[in-house]
Amino acid sequence: MQTIAHWLDGKAFAGTSEATAPVTNPATGVVTGQVALANVADTRAAIDAAADAFPAWRDTSLARRTQILFRFRELLNERKEELAQLITAEHGKVLADAMGEVSRGLEVVEFACGVPHLLKGGYTENASTKVDIFSIRQPLGPVAVISPFNFPAMVPMWFFPLAIAAGNTVVLKPSEKDPSASLWLARLWDEAGLPAGVFNVVQGDKVAVDELLDNPAIKAVSFVGSTPIAQYVYQRGTAAGKRVQALGGAKNHMVVLPDADLDLAADAAVNAGFGSAGERCMAISVVVAVAGAGDELVGKITERATTIKTGDGTRDADMGPLVTRAHRDRVAEYIAAGESAGATVVLDGRGIDADGESDGFWLGPTILDHVGTDMSVYTDEIFGPVLSVVRVDTYDDALALINANPYGNGTAIFTNDGGAARRFHNEVEVGMVGINVPIPVPMSYYSFGGWKNSLFGDSHAHGADGVHFFTRGKAVTTRWLDPSHGGLNLGFPENK
């Protein structure tokens, strides 16, 4: 059985800790490997490698950095099927979905290839008499990326291409549930010509995370995960003086107005609710049916959901298993709780006959209608293939429902009324909004991030926000020697 190790200073590193965790194929329930769990010494070794590599990488020309990024982009594009297969084997999502994940991460790499333009400063000549001022943006130093299980390739690629392009060095701490993608990416960086120590991987759990948050050599932390852990990462990291962007959980609502194309809305609800078995921070988990749209809409959603084929992601399946047995059982408990609280179980995925091994972590598409806002299936982030339908009387009721929710990651409205759509994107308190688009994940040149309890920190991921997060500004004021400026003057400098 393979042991999935760390990567530091340009090579695999077994570490000094004997602690490991099992890595399981969710479609079979079979343990396929053991991932090393770093102790403090192992984590510090990765941080030290990043710190040692930083001065030379910081001083590497933008031209050279860009050449390496372009090479990494080409290698990733050529071999993306290989990475997708690795993701499916450890996460469980179907191959087509894994390919989509890699492609969206690739977009950020491509965006980072244009970093010379994004790092341009400003220059003012003769701001004061014979005094010039210019501004520059410089890298921070070693930075940490702590990524979740649901996107083992895409989420790290939201961050590390821009961090590296800007001149920082990186320590990536992936999820211990599907750790192999991180090592695959590390080897690809090595092949692309990235100097040793610029990109490092430390496998582990809370021990590794806490060292990354506390160690003074780490200057910034990027995190994606649940809201309680995001808040913990933000508080502990900022207490240690670090810059932190911590993206948390979600409860994404999709409002359907009576004038909407209900066939389009039903397609969108199914695709956005059950893709990747609902294990997406941008998944639609609540459909808000306004006025008379409810009955027909629920019927159309159910009709489509019953055609979804659940099974092994390497076979002809639409939806794969959940990531672990414990998570599968937890989601099933939410369904039972919703039923007990009075929700109508329109489609029950707990007894699904999946196209896969009997020990796989299967749970089929589930639809709960007449869900109340006090039910746990509504209040909690379930992170599974469970779609809750809440019925309201008016647009204003739907808006108030969303704005009262503690999460503010993504939302959508389906309507043919342009006025209602404009009101919605103006009034809704959510960071990413879709108009007849159920999963409004922006392109890489726009920022990704939510509001309220879906984000801790003031910087979103990728786009110009990402460049800004991984750099800091410096203003330089210059005056070359001129006898007319000599002499003592203890007054505050004036511009003349």
The residues assigned a catalytic role are: 281
Token pair belonging to 32: 């396929």
> In one letter, which amino acid is 17?
S
How far is the C-alpha of 36 from the C-alpha of 305, rounded, in Å? 39
The residues facing 254 across adjacent strands are: 287, 412
CA-nearest of 443, 425, 427 to 435 is: 425
Which residue has 């003012």 as its token pair?
A: 124
Distances (CA, A) of 195 to 45, 105, 180, 380: 17, 22, 21, 44
String of DSSP letters for 306-370: TT--BB-TTSS-SB---S-HHHHHHHHHHHHHHHHTT-EEEE--TT---BS-TTS-----EEEES
What torsion do the CA atoms of 245, 249, 251, 252 make, to the nearest 10 degrees?
50
How far is the C-alpha of 184 from the C-alpha of 181, rounded, in Å? 5
Whether residue 439 contacts residue 450, with contact meaning beta carbons closer than 8 Å, is answered with no
Q: Is 150 in a helix, a strand, or coil?
A: coil
What torsion do the CA atoms of 223, 228, 231, 233 make, to the nearest 10 degrees?
-50
Sign of CA dihedral 424, 298, 383, 340: positive
Q: Is 149 in a helix, a strand, or coil?
A: coil
How far is the C-alpha of 283 from the C-alpha of 440, rounded, in Å? 10
Which residue has 């969108």 as its token pair?
A: 268
CA angle at 376 for the pair 370 and 381, rounded to the nearest 5°:
105
How far is the C-alpha of 409 from the C-alpha of 275, rounded, in Å? 17
CA-nearest of 454, 346, 342, 469 to 407 is: 454
- Phi, psi for 105 (deg, rounded to 5): -70, -35
Whether residue 389 contacts residue 294, with contact meaning beta carbons closer than 8 Å, is answered with yes
Token pair belonging to 455: 């984000």
CA 206 to chain CA centroid, nearest Å: 19
